[in-house]
Structure 1
Amino acid sequence: MTTTVVVGNPKPASRTLDAASRLAVALTGTEPDATIDVVELGSGLLGWGDDSVGAAVQRVAESDLVVIASPTFKASYTGVLKLFLDQFATGDGLRDVTAVPLMLGAGPGHAMAPDLLLKPVLVELGATCPAPGLYLIDSTYTTDSRIADYAERWARVFGRTSRTEAP
């Protein structure tokens, strides 16, 4: 199974990246095959035809499982993630990709954001999202059991809906 982590945090090497990587490992039992810290794509996100952005889009589109993560920003996912997602064709840009929407925030007030805001965009792009998204509190995700609990409940589902079976 090819697993990719996509993180749309305006800050590189963020807690969002750490949480998404932890989730990918918990779901698959291995480190992700690729990590795309979207902010590192820079101004190439502002148009079409950038080689680095194109390679990142292709990498995601060819993945079996993609954890797509964002901090909660102005009650939604970030603009930098939106710029990256805009690079995919509507309807089939993420065809045959199983996606996990993940968002982090300071408190429980936005706990439904992954399902209400991020998941519909992923589905619009053709991704399969067979389970609820995951919302984590950014100050406790390393010490609570939410990632492990989520993986225990949903890893087999993600494995069955990905192009290849999970271990």
Structure 2
Amino acid sequence: MLTFSQPITPAVKAHIDAQYSLIADMSQKMFETAQKINDLNMQVAKTVLEDTFSSVHQVIGARDPYEAFSIAAAQAQPQAERVREYQQHLTNIAANTQVDIAKTAESHFPNTSRTAAAVADEVARTAKDETEKATSRQKAAMEKFTSPIDRPEDLKSQPPRPSA
């Protein structure tokens, strides 16, 4: 499990919530698309099976091989048309999904942008504060480093300090 050294701020939480909402809505759209494709595939499978049984029944009832071949050949054009219709349905599903995803992203963009800007402002403000603190610590360290060092002979000339 991940642990954070600092608590999650309200701006970060709002941005995470906005991102989660966007991802949830996008996932819902993708699930709906998968469901539409599945329904289409089930419908096509059912139609293909019905057509196959009908064609087999007609071929079995043929009086000679030429008639059987003629029946089978007559089925080629309707099957090609069904394949074209299937491709058209898939194209429509894909196009509608693209429009839905674009609309979903567009509806979430203002909130996501606003929360991202708030996080960026917070990070900049925090970085500025931390930089100022680090600069103060460095100045204090430099002042200690550059201040005169008490030498033992300097200590002899000073009066003794009272003990506590």
Q: So what's the TM-score if we normalise by structure 2?
A: 0.18
Going by fraction, where is strand more abundant, 1 or 2? 1
Higher gyration radius (CA): 2
Q: So what's the TM-score if we normalise by structure 1?
A: 0.17
Going by fraction, where is helix more abundant, 1 or 2? 2
